[in-house]
Structure 1
Amino acid sequence: MRLAVIGHGTIARYAMERLKERGHRIVALVLRPERIAETRACGPDGPVLVSSAGDLPDGIDHVIDCAGHAGLAAHGPAVLAAGHDLTTVSAGALADPALHDALAGAAQAGGARLCIASGAVGALDCLRAARVGGLRAVRYVGRKPPRGWIGSPAEHMLDLDGMHGPALTHFTGTARQAALVYPKNANVAAAVALSGLGFDATEVALVADPQVSRNVHEIHVEGEFGTFEFRIEGTALPDNPRSSALAAMSVVSALERHDAPIVF
């Protein structure tokens, strides 16, 4: 496939390398104007660098967004309206009703589809199946080492550098509230919400826990099917301790499922 990628951060670079290994071609990058100059400084070879979806070259088969909520908001509607299918890891951005409607409208207008990669969590296929029979409760708990919350609102509530005692919950609320207040930390909560009861009925707790060394994601579900609990302890990408390795892998997986003749 001929691919375009929005962003050039850790997750984007990982996904690009894995996709190239699988025979796909990265033909364009969509970057902020100041990032274009920096990226060009890394060498003249490689994909075309553009600052807007309107400047993408012809013949793009699929666009991948790895630029966070801001990147999806800035470029997603134009990409979809131009008829390009788009995969994103920024599930949390859809908590904004205006952006959700803009993306949906653009996809319909362009005859394209927006695919949400599963990101740093699993069991979403089970959750989607359980939704068919009826769900009573879905709760997501995100647990990180204290320093994993640096740069989020948690650092205004807790002494993240000095925490050595018990785990402390610094947020409880809905998935919509979590995604809007913690835009860099709540994509998993949003993916759980989109797969289950929705943003306003999914319960979320975010925890700073000195006893864990990895990011821990837990899903607790009750419904007509029965109950299930899922827990994953995720490792980070080597180049960035804040970027989930599984989130980057899910981008590649989502693209390959989208293009596969048999999907499971």
Structure 2
Amino acid sequence: MNTSTILDATSGVASDSADAASSEQRIAIIGMGAMGRRVVSSLRAGPFGRIAIAGLDPYADANALKVDLDVDLFANLDDLMAWAPTVVVECAGHTAVEGVVAQCLERGVDAIVASVGALSSDELRARLHQAQEIGGSELIVVSGAIGGLDALSAARGSGIESVRYVGRKPPRAWSGTPADGEFDLAAIDKPTVIFDGTAAESARLYPKNANVTAAVAIAGIGFDKTHVTMMADPSVNKNVHEVEAKGPFGQLNIRLENNPLPDNPKTSWLAALSIEDAILRRLQHVI
């Protein structure tokens, strides 16, 4: 269901409320690459289009972002904090979670994290938890390229016996990963398993592909108990994610076939949409 459509279809009350939310909330995007720009573009086109937005990215073009998206750009965290964001949205990868998000939480600024794979580190999870306690802030982790995790999380109440994740991508999509050195990706002509093990092991060996498996592990039974199989499959042209969970509650099966983000074929469009949804839900809560 499209949140923006619902708000646009209402009377002037929604518009007035959106303006009020815009004046109270200040959103900072960490990383102004394809995903960060996509998130800002979506916000600008929706009912909260006039909300204050800043970016943290030392490599982005400040003039272009200001002209095209009305984004104030900062190159360091101290300057961004002086801008006084009410929430930061991480769109920059694992190192941003480690190096920036914890500091924001400690300073009392809520954070929305897209790079869930970073949370495979016990040490980092503990640090982020401590940062929330120090700053009285909130950490929101989005589901990214996978869905149905609310049901998986709810199933924990009855006790989950097993969780299995299977990821399939075209062989070329595994270039630049450890599979690139172990397999002749160009020669793969049938579905081939490139990794089989735990979510903890997959996050360590395939960090660029860890976001989905990490999200499943966090929602379910943890990194060491979640079984992961990753495949190079020439029969698919999208990123395919399958989750199976069993327990006293019954059996859960999830399958998604994700199209890539138009501006970045290595990123699922659904991952960007999940960030946009988290921001909109936060803004609607203000209304």
Q: The TM-score by the shorter chain falls in which range?
A: over 0.9
Aligned residue for 2:56? 30
TM-score, normalization by structure 1? 0.92
Aligned residue for 2:37? 13
Give secondary structure in 2 for the equivalent of 1:248.
helix
CA distance in 1, matches of 2:65, 2:256: 38
Does structure 1 residue 226 correspond to structure 2 residue 250? Answer: yes
Q: Decide whether aligned partners of structure 1 residues 48 and 121 sit closer, same or farther in structure 2, where only a CA change above 3 A counts.
A: same
Aligned residue for 1:131? 156
User: What residue identity is the alignment partner of 2:146?
Assistant: V
CA distance in 1, matches of 2:78, 2:248: 47
Does structure 1 residue 99 correspond to structure 2 residue 124? Answer: yes
- Return the offset for 1:260: 3.2
CA contact (8 A) 1:16 1:26 kept: no
Does structure 1 residue 256 correspond to structure 2 residue 280? Answer: yes
CA distance in 2, matches of 1:193, 1:248: 20
Does structure 1 residue 215 correspond to structure 2 residue 239? Answer: yes
Give secondary structure in 2 for the equivalent of 1:261.
helix
Give secondary structure in 2 for the equivalent of 1:172.
strand
CA distance in 2, matches of 1:43, 1:94: 30
CA distance in 2, matches of 1:92, 1:11: 16
CA contact (8 A) 1:5 1:26 kept: no
From 206, 229, 236, the counterpart of 1:182:
206
- Return the offset for 1:185: 0.9
TM-score, normalization by structure 2? 0.85
From 72, 75, 81, the counterpart of 2:106:
81
Superposed, which structure 2 residues align to 1:111-190 within 5 Å?
111-164=136-189, 166-190=190-214
CA contact (8 A) 1:92 1:180 kept: no
Q: Decide whether aligned partners of structure 1 residues 90 and 214 sit closer, same or farther in structure 2, where only a CA change above 3 A counts.
A: same
* Same amino acid, percent of matched pairs: 40
Structure 1 moving runs of 4+ over 6 Å? none
Q: Give the helix-richer structure, 1 or 2.
A: 2
CA contact (8 A) 1:66 1:89 kept: yes
CA contact (8 A) 2:152 2:252 kept: no
Structure 2: give runs of 5+ residues left out of the alignment. Answer: 1-24
Length, aligned pairs only: 257
CA contact (8 A) 2:65 2:72 kept: no
From 234, 238, 247, the counterpart of 2:271:
247
Which structure: larger Rg?
A: 2
User: What residue identity is the alignment partner of 2:155?
Assistant: A
Aligned residue for 1:66? 91
Structure 1: give runs of 5+ residues left out of the alignment. Answer: none
Give secondary structure in 1 for the equivalent of 2:105.
helix
